[in-house]
């Protein structure tokens, strides 16, 4: 089973084109300036089988791909590999993955198998005090797609019940402003 924080059916700042984004739950890197600290805890949030998630993805129209983010996707490599395999074998969708691991830290067989199915990997510990937030990009030489990664894009989504979800690469000031707005109930 895949333990998810949440999903977003259509995002434009997490890869090429419109993407279905899966935020997994659980990460032990605790990077400075991480925009998703709610995803650090390893508590069980939302459990989905890879088959169930795949069927949800298939219902989305006009998406160009699926992005795994978090949380730390490579800590759930076994089930995400099974999902990625379904996507690759049965659709034309591409796969992008955000990870805090360095490439040479992906050592298990499942992690290597998942990496091989990624079109693009944005990797390395996030650090908002370093150039490019310390993030590097690996493009799979087998991929037909090239993502010109831009880590300044931000997407803000206000849900029907007033929750504010920020996606992409907000500054700490923007995150703080959005938290103030959320707390004021605007
Ligand atoms: S790896 Fe990603 S989710 Fe984990 S702490 Fe770093 S930026 Fe946050």
Domains of the chain with CATH codes: 2-152 (3.20.20.70)
Mean pLDDT by groups of 10 residues along the chain of 186 residues: 94 92 96 89 96 96 95 98 98 97 97 97 89 88 85 77 75 76 72
Exposed e or buried b for every residue in 45-69, given b needs 16+ CB within 10 A? beebebeebbeebeeeeebbbbbbb
Question: Strand pairing of 136-139 and 120-123?
Answer: antiparallel
What's the rounded Cα separation, in Å, for the pair 175 and 82?
34
Three-state secondary structure call for residue 18 = coil
Identify the residue whose C-alpha is closest to ligand 1 atom 7: 34
pLDDT recorded at residue 175: 74
Residue 123 near residue 105, CB atoms below 8 Å: no
Tell the residue nearest (CA) to atom 3 of ligand 1: 71
- pLDDT attached to residue 186: 55
The rounded distance, in Å, linking the Cα atoms of 119 and 133 is 21
pLDDT at res. 138: 95
CA of 142 to the centre of ligand 1 (A): 27
Sign of CA dihedral 183, 151, 13, 56: negative
**Closest ligand 1 atom to 99 CA:** 1
Tokens of 152: 């300044």
pLDDT at position 184: 78
Distance 124 CA to ligand 1 centre (A): 9
pLDDT (0 to 100) of residue 112: 98
């Amino acid at each position: 089973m895949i333990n998810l924080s949440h999903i977003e059916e259509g995002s434009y700042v997490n890869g090429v084109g419109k993407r279905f984004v899966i935020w997994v739950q659980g990460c032990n890197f605790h990077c400075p300036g991480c925009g998703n600290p709610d995803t650090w805890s390893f508590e069980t949030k939302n459990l989905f089988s890879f088959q169930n998630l795949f069927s949800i993805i298939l219902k989305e129209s006009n998406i160009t791909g699926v992005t795994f983010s978090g949380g730390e996707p490579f800590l759930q490599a076994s089930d995400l590999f099974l999902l990625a395999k379904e996507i690759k074998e049965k659709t034309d969708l591409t796969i992008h993955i955000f990870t805090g691991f360095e490439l040479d830290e992906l050592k298990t067989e499942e992690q290597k198998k998942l990496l091989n199915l990624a079109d693009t990997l944005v990797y390395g510990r996030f650090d908002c005090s370093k150039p490019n937030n310390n993030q590097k990009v690996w493009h799979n030489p087998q991929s037909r797609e090239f993502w010109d990664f831009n880590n300044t894009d931000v997407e803000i989504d206000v849900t029907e019940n007033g929750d504010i979800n920020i996606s992409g690469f907000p500054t700490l000031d923007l995150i703080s402003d959005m938290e103030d707005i959320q707390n004021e109930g605007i």
